[in-house]
Amino acid sequence: MTVIVLTLCPAGLRGFLTRWLLEVSSGVFVGAPSARVRDALWAEVREYAGNGRALLIYSTNNEQGYTFETFEHHWEPMDHEGLTLIHRPNKRSSAGAKKRGWSKVAKRRRYGNK
């Protein structure tokens, strides 16, 4: 089983993928091509995605039963003790700013009231 998810990609790329996969929802393609065809499709997606993003998920013989690859995606796959997990970067740590709360305790801390 192979799943390809496209976001903000050209319509021509979506039409290209419908030759081998079934578009079950807008930008979501599902099918069972061979590994050779899957790799060729992924190469085409990476070449013609433009400013869009893409996600490839396919069945494989590992503990999870599947694996995935990303292209120009904010979330990145990473290996954690043999399992592939998605790492979503923390926007707060990259900006260096601390998130302010909305609770009474957060207001007290912010304004120094006790």
Q: pLDDT by residue for the chain (114 residues), tens digit each?
A: 999 999 999 999 999 999 999 999 999 999 999 999 999 999 999 999 989 999 999 999 988 999 989 999 888 888 888 888 888 887 655 455 566 667 877 777 777 765
pLDDT of residue 84: 86
CATH class label, 2-90: alpha beta
- How far is CA 99 from its chain centroid? 25
* SS3 annotation, the chain: CEEEEEECCCHHHHHHHCCCCEEEECCEEEECCCHHHHHHHHHHHHHHCCCCEEEEEEECCCCCCEEEEEECCCCEEEEECCEEEEECCCHHHHHCCCCCCCCHHHHHHHHCCC
What is this structure's pTM?
A: 0.74
